[in-house]
Structure 1
Amino acid sequence: MNIELSLLNRRFGAKVELKDVDWTCLDLINRHGPLAPTALARRAGLHPATVTGILDRLQRDGWIARERDADSVDRRAVIVRGLRDRNHELFQMFSGMNGRMDALCGTYTLAELELIADFLRRTTTAGSDSAEELVAE
């Protein structure tokens, strides 16, 4: 499943000219943003200098905006937020997968879907915790 979803994400990214790592960072920004670049680097497990290049590409292509962080005493501090203008492209690309998932979910009872959702939440937590352990080492 991991391989198939990775391939799917890579193909989605190629359609909108996003590298895998750019796609990952854009998703993190859209899910958890606005974020400071250092917070994004931490979440993505990337070096801050690498994130700078990624943010340059995402900003150039109209996916994100960098803005001064009004809450910071450091006048140089910025936050990054996703721009929703291009989201229709993403929704359009995901429509095939979303339709297939709707059809698949329709074959399960509510109790079965709750069990599957619980399993996926726990799997996500296990993966997140394991990734954090690797950072701490």
Structure 2
Amino acid sequence: MAETDDARRAAALERLMTVGRQNSAVTVMFHSAIAAKQGLNATEGKTLDYLQRQGPLTAKDLAELTGLAPASVTGLVDRLEAKGFVRRVKHPTDKRRVLVEPNEAKLAELAGFFEDWTRDIVEVCAQFTTDELETVNRFLAVMTEQQRKATARLTD
């Protein structure tokens, strides 16, 4: 019986790796296509997502969140600033530090690209129970943190 359970688990993990790779590929392509509509690359687009969800951040904060090297973040912020998506502002409590602040009006232009996708997600999720969705949420949260760590190792 244990061999059967072990074999089922191994097969499930193999399918997970395959489906995960497929999902990763289409996710990158989807976000690259949305970013390209605004003259951005995928990294710029996802950095804007962090700023939109978390508000103004320091370059150090962005480096930690993205896993990118600090020098890469400086160039990234320079490009986003030149394109009008962010601006550098003085930190409210520490004048030696600078925050990267999103341009909310420019970010609003990106929101329309996600409306259909959001509607599709809600529709597809109707076939899953709340408990199943909570399992997926827990899995994605754990995997997100693991991938953040892997990214940081690659950029150190």
Alignment of 1:76-115 (within 5 A): 77-115=97-135
Alignment of 1:16-55 (within 5 A): 16-55=38-77
Deviates more, 1:32-41 or 1:93-102: 32-41
Please point out which of 55, 73, 78 is paired with 1:56. 78
RMSD of Structure 2 on Structure 1 (CA) = 2.2
Q: 1:44 to 1:120 in 2, by over 3 A?
A: closer
Q: Kindly tell me the number of residue pairs found equivalent between the two proteins.
A: 134
TM-score, normalised to structure 2's length? 0.73
Highest relative contact order (Cα 8 Å, sep 6+), 1 or 2? Answer: 2
Structure-2 residue corresponding to 1:10? 32
Give the structure with the larger helix fraction.
2
Q: 1:41 to 1:121 in 2, by over 3 A?
A: closer
2:68 and 2:112 map into 1 onto residues whose CA distance is 29
Structure 2: stretches of 5+ with no match in the other structure: 1-22
| SS in structure 1 of the partner of residue 100 of structure 2 | strand
Please point out which of 99, 106, 117 is paired with 2:137. 117
2:28 and 2:136 map into 1 onto residues whose CA distance is 21
Contact conserved, 2:59 with 2:70, CA < 8 A, in 1? yes
